[in-house]
């Protein structure tokens, strides 16, 4: 594993598998009476969040605490550009406090990579702009492994606002690394520029994809959040039309086998990209994803902080 985790592409198949295996062990802790392990005792982790996210921040915080690290949350929202402090100043100031690892989230793509280039400690990307969110991809892969077993040759459909989704980018990279096949489904306005060069297939037709007619049987479906401001940006005309074309409605759910898991990174827009039938039904693994988030982040923190050198393992 590289010193920092900035992109899902930083992980090769062995490293990704080792992390997912370690997460299985970590997961066991969640059901124990004493939810605490000692390996990161005396280590300090700072969650440096330039963008609000209760969900991801808490997940990293719990993961760090269950490994006995001291976890400090620094909300830097609006601190840099508006107050005249540069990102570099903010990063160096926080790192100078004796931090062993930074977990960074930022609204701009590449910001976490920039931070990693300035500070001496390892950095975990907890989401940067519309670029990547590698631990989300790991928790999705973990959840999928729990349902499907090994992911090689499995077929995952990712549906929604691909263009603005860091979740989609990291998932495409990690699923490809793990040998799975990905089909991205979105209206043409919500597919990224140059998506033809990505290691996956794309489609505009959700029904043809889910039914298996277009790209073969689908083993899992990941629905992405669609932000309502995309409507004013002209990416689609109305919520009604978007939901009709790309929402996971009860009717579309029937196109899927009983055992096809439905994922969503949350928070969900019920009635827009996902119906309550899909969100709360037996195929939904949304809460498993949340649980997996803690286990996967424990595995990531452990592997990045516990050992000085990977070569020793």
Partner 1 sequence: MTTLVLRGARPLGGPATDVRIESGVIAELGRGLAGDDVLDADGLVLLPGLVDLHTHLREPGREDAETVATGSAAAARGGFTAVHAMANTSPVADSAEIVEQVARRGAAAGLVDVRPVGAVSRGLAGEQLAEIATMARSQAQVRVFSDDGLCVADARLMRRALEYVKPFDAVIAQHAQDPRLADGNACAHEGELSGRLGLPGWPSVAEESIVARDVMLARHTGSRLHVCHVSSAATVDVLRWAKARGIAVTAEVTPHHLLLTEDLLSTYDPVFKVNPPLRPSEDVQALREALADGTIDAVATDHAPHAAHDKDHAFADAAFGMLGLETALGVVAEAMVHTGLLDWTGVADRMSLRPARIARLSGQGRPIRVGEPANLTVVDPSSSVVVDPARFASRSRNTPFAGRALPARVVSTIYLGRMTVRDGALLQPVGAS
Partner 2 sequence: MTGSLRAQSDPAHALLSAADVGRTLDRIAHQVIEHTAHTGFDLVLLGIPTRGVPLARRLADRIDRFADVRVPTGSLDVTLFRDDLRMRGVRPLGDTVEPEGGVTGRTVVLVDDVLFSGRTVRAALDALTELGRPRAVQLAVLVDRGHRELPIRADYVGKNLPTSLTQTVRVLLDEIDGTDGVYVTGDRA
Residues that bind partner 1 (CB under 8 A): 80-81, 84, 86-89, 106, 108-111, 113-114, 128-132, 163, 166, 169, 192-198
Is residue 157 within 8 A of residue 218, CB to CB? The reply is: yes
Q: How many CA atoms lie within 13 A of 301 on its CB side?
A: 35
The whole-angstrom separation of Cα 145 and Cα 197 is 27
Question: Is 233 in contact with 207 (CB distance < 8 Å)?
Answer: no
Per-residue contact string for residues 54-93; x = within reach of partner 2 by CB under 8 A: -------------x--------------------------
Residue 144 interacts with which of partner 2, partner 1, none, CB < 5 to 8 Å by class = none
Does the protein bind partner 2 through residue 21 (CB under 8 A)? yes
- The DSSP 8-state label assigned to residue 192 in this structure reads P
CA-wise closest residue to 106 among 97, 146, 298, 86: 86
Q: Which stretch binds partner 2 (CB under 8 A): 168-176, 195-203, 235-243, 298-306?
A: 298-306
Is the Cβ of residue 10 or residue 132 nearer to partner 1 in the bound state? 132
Task: Give, in order, the Cα–Cα distances in Å from 170 to each of 177, 214, 241.
Answer: 11, 24, 28
Nearer to partner 2, 38 or 234 (CB): 38
CB of 309 to partner 2, least distance (A): 5
Among residues 33 and 258, whose Cβ is nearest to partner 2?
33
Could you give the C-alpha distances from 23 to 184, 297, 302, 303, in angstroms and in order?
Answer: 27, 8, 10, 10
* Contact of 104 with 126, CB cutoff 8 Å: yes
Q: Which does 312 bind (CB under 5 to 8 A by kind): partner 2, partner 1, none?
A: partner 2
Distance CA 180, CA 10 (A): 17
User: Could you tell me which of 292, 206, 290 has the C-alpha nearest to residue 256?
Assistant: 206
> To the nearest whole angstrom, how small is the minimum distance from the Cβ of residue 98 to partner 2?
16
- Asked whether 283 and 258 are in contact (CB, 8 A), the reply is yes
Residue nearer to partner 1 on the CB measure, 196 or 281: 196
Q: Closest distance between partner 1 and the C-beta of residue 84, in Å?
A: 8
Shortest spacing between CB 111 and partner 1, in angstroms = 3
Residue 265: CB minimum distance to partner 1, A: 16
DSSP 64: H
Strand 101-106 relative to strand 123-128: parallel, antiparallel, unpaired?
Answer: parallel
| Number of Cβ atoms within 10 Å of the Cβ of 113 | 18
Shortest Å, Cβ 272 to partner 2: 40
CB of 3 to partner 2, least distance (A): 12
- Residues numbered 26 to 45 that lie near partner 2 (CB under 8 A) are 28, 32, 34, 36-39
Residues in contact with partner 2 by CB under 8 A are: 1, 18, 21-22, 25, 28, 32, 34, 36-39, 67, 302-303, 306-313
């Amino acid at each position: 594993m590289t010193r920092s985790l900035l992109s899902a592409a930083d992980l090769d198949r062995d490293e990704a598998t080792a992390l997912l295996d370690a997460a299985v062990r970590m997961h066991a802790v969640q059901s124990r009476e004493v939810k605490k392990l000692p390996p990161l005792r005396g280590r300090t982790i700072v969650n440096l969040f330039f963008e609000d996210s209760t969900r991801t921040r808490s997940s990293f915080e719990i993961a760090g605490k269950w490994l006995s690290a001291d976890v400090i949350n620094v909300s830097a929202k609006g601190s840099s550009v508006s107050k005249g402090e540069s990102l570099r100043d903010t990063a160096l100031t926080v790192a100078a406090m004796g931090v062993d690892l930074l977990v960074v989230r930022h609204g701009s793509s590449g910001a976490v990579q920039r931070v990693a280039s300035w500070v001496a400690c390892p950095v975990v990307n907890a989401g940067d702009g519309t670029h990547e969110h590698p631990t989300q991809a790991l928790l999705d892969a973990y959840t999928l492994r729990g349902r499907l077993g090994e992911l090689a040759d499995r077929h995952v459909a990712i549906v929604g606002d691909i263009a603005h989704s860091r979740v989609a980018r990291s998932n495409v990279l990690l699923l490809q690394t793990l040998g799975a096949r990905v089909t991205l489904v979105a209206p043409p306005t919500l597919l990224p520029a140059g998506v033809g060069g990505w290691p996956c297939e794309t489609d505009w037709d959700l029904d043809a994809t889910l039914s298996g007619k277009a790209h073969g049987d689908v083993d899992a479906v990941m629905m992405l959040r669609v932000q309502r401001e995309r409507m004013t940006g002209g990416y689609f005309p109305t919520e009604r039309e978007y939901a009709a074309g790309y929402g996971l409605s009860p009717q579309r759910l029937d196109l899927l086998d009983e055992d096809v898991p439905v994922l969503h990174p949350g928070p969900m827009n019920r009635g827009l990209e996902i119906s309550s039938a899909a969100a709360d039904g037996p195929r939904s693994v949304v809460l498993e994803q949340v649980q997996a988030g803690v286990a996967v982040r424990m595995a990531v923190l452990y592997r990045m902080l516990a050992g000085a050198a990977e070569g020793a393992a």
